[in-house]
Amino acid sequence: MLWRGSVNRPPTPEAEDGRQDQHLSLQEIINIKLVESGEKERLKELLRERLIECGWRDEMKELCRSFVRKKGKNNVTVEDLINVITPKGRASVPDSVKAELLQHIRSFLGSAAL
């Protein structure tokens, strides 16, 4: 049985013969391990903290406010904001934050039995 869905999905169920599906990608296997261990939530919380500390969150809020002022609050949808802000937000995450998260992921993978 193949069970694909959101990357936030619960652990993949075992197939009827007791084996896990052999068609999962390495990325999917890693994601399942991160979710099962609770590490994914810890990493997300660390990311939130670091983005607030470095002022990234405030920058994104200001970009949203500026966009809404420019377009007029009655002419902006959430989808518009997402489409405009997401690329800018991803591009402006500080390298130090990315490096710290990558180090945590590497440490997790080094200690996890994959």
How far is the CA of 5 from the CAs of 1, 24, 83, 109, in angstroms? Answer: 13, 12, 23, 23
Spatial contact of 97 and 47, defined as CB atoms under 8 Å apart: yes
Is 18 within the bounds of a domain? no
Is 14 within the bounds of a domain? no
CATH number at residue 34: 1.10.246.140
Is 84 within the bounds of a domain? yes
Is 16 within the bounds of a domain? no
pLDDT (0 to 100) of residue 16:
46
Tally of structural domains, the chain: 1
**Per-residue confidence of the chain (114 residues) as pLDDT tens digits?**
334 444 455 555 544 444 455 688 989 999 999 999 999 999 999 999 999 999 999 999 999 999 999 999 999 999 999 999 999 999 999 999 999 999 999 999 999 866
Is 5 within the bounds of a domain? no
User: Range of 75's domain?
Assistant: 27-112
How far is the CA of 112 from the CAs of 15, 41, 60, 92, 109, in angstroms? Answer: 23, 16, 35, 31, 5
pTM of full prediction above 0.85: no
pLDDT (0 to 100) of residue 23:
84
Is 102 within the bounds of a domain? yes
Is 89 within the bounds of a domain? yes
Q: For residue 95, what are its two tokens?
A: 């390298």
